[in-house]
Amino acid sequence: MDRTQFLIGLSVALFCLGLVGVIVRRNALVLLMCMELMVNAAVLALVTFAARGNDAAGAAYVFLIFVVAAAEIAIAIPIVLLLSRQRRTLDVGAYTGLGG
Amino acid sequence: MTETVLLYLFSAGALGGALAMLIARHPMRVALGLIGTMLSLASLYALLGVHVIAVFQVLIYVGAVMVFMVFVIMLLDTRDPSFVARYSRLLLPGLVSGALLAATLAALLVRTGIRGPRVPGSADFHLQPFSAAFLDRYWLHFELTSVLLVIVVVAAIAVVKGRGGRDG
């Protein structure tokens, strides 16, 4: 099998595993980590395609994605901390107040 | 030959870490699975010849994001219902939808394939040419990331202080 195709297949598998994790797990921190897994899968696809070319644009965008992902975690963790302080649990099933 | 073996080995490592994330009960084990996946992906990037991104992956993801995550897991280690029962009611629909999405994307990948010739020798990904291109052509993006980081610091303080300050 072609190496590019294999890596894109791996990226698809990782993305789907992350999606399943976001849907089925209950712990808020585990949900965040599964989202990180999905971002990583997308980055793998981007890097695989970028490595086929001869341009630094792909690498520059991957750097931007890393910074945005770090920013996302830096915002998401205080939100989880506040939620767990308010509801005394990390179970996302208990956060029903967000449903309106 | 060695490269192919390493490619399959690190791919298996990445998949194993991701599966461990779905199965493990304690968030710390989930974090270790994710760290394993990220390190395997960094090795794959190095195998692809994009060493700069492999270094970014280890430094930013494993070194900063996951260490932050591990600190928070240690901070919030409470025995709550999400520890006893790992999965929500959506276990079956989640598995089915994930399998459907995977099957669709895999079918698409097999049917269309990846066409187009590969440009040989991605020399720009070595550190010196990449740094020159990054700070020459993409300096605006680089500066924008610093603005973004400042915004994030302010927003994180606002999230924590905004409500928490009034609530006492």
pLDDT 10s digits, B8-34: 999 999 999 999 999 988 889 999 999
Please indicate if any CB of chain A lies within 8 Å of the CB of B68. yes
Q: Is residue B138 part of a domain?
A: yes
Q: In terms of domains, do B136 and B84 share one?
A: no
Cβ contact, residue pair B159, A93, below 8 Å? no
Selected residue of A1, A2, A24, A75 to mutate for chain B interface (largest B Cβ count, 10 A): A24
Please indicate if any CB of chain A lies within 8 Å of the CB of B125. yes
Q: In terms of domains, do B141 and B76 share one?
A: no
pLDDT (0 to 100) of residue B117: 62
DSSP B118: P
pLDDT (0 to 100) of residue A12: 94
Q: In terms of domains, do B82 and B3 share one?
A: yes
Q: 């965040």: which residue's tokens?
A: A32
CA of A64, closest CA in chain B: separation in Å? 7
Closest residue to B130, CB basis, from A48, A59, A68: A59
| Residue from B32, B34, B55 nearest B43 by CA | B55
pLDDT (0 to 100) of residue A100: 56
Is it the case that residue B85 has pLDDT exceeding 70? yes
Q: In terms of domains, do B79 and B148 share one?
A: no
Q: What is the mean pLDDT of residues B103-126?
A: 74
Is it the case that residue B88 has pLDDT exceeding 60? yes
Q: In terms of domains, do B81 and B132 share one?
A: no
Residues 8 through 37 of chain A touching chain B, CB cutoff 8 Å: 8-10, 12-21, 23-30, 32-34, 36-37
pLDDT (0 to 100) of residue A20: 94
pLDDT (0 to 100) of residue B3: 86
pTM for the full predicted model: 0.89
CA of B128, closest CA in chain A: separation in Å? 11
Q: Is residue B84 part of a domain?
A: yes
Please list, in sequence order, all residues whose beta carbon lies within 8 angstroms of the beta carbon of residue A12, skipping any fewer than 6 positions away: A41, B102, B105, B106, B109
Q: What is the mean pLDDT of residues B63-89?
A: 82
Is it the case that residue B167 has pLDDT exceeding 90? no
Q: What is the mean pLDDT of residues B41-70?
A: 90
Q: In terms of domains, do B84 and B130 share one?
A: no
- Domain of B38: which CATH number? 1.20.120.1200
Q: What is the mean pLDDT of residues B78-101?
A: 81
pLDDT (0 to 100) of residue B163: 61
Cβ contact, residue pair B68, A74, below 8 Å? yes
Q: Is residue B36 part of a domain?
A: yes
Q: First-to-last CA distance in chain A? A: 50
Q: Quote the domain boundaries for residue B152.
A: 126-168
Q: Is residue B73 part of a domain?
A: yes
DSSP B119: P
The structural domain count of chain B equals 2
Computed over every residue of chain B, the mean pLDDT equals 85
Q: In terms of domains, do B13 and B74 share one?
A: yes
Q: In terms of domains, do B6 and B78 share one?
A: yes
Please indicate if any CB of chain A lies within 8 Å of the CB of B77. no
pLDDT (0 to 100) of residue B168: 44
Q: In terms of domains, do B79 and B144 share one?
A: no
pLDDT category, A56, cuts 50, 70, 90? confident
Q: Is residue B93 part of a domain?
A: no
Q: In terms of domains, do B5 and B84 share one?
A: yes
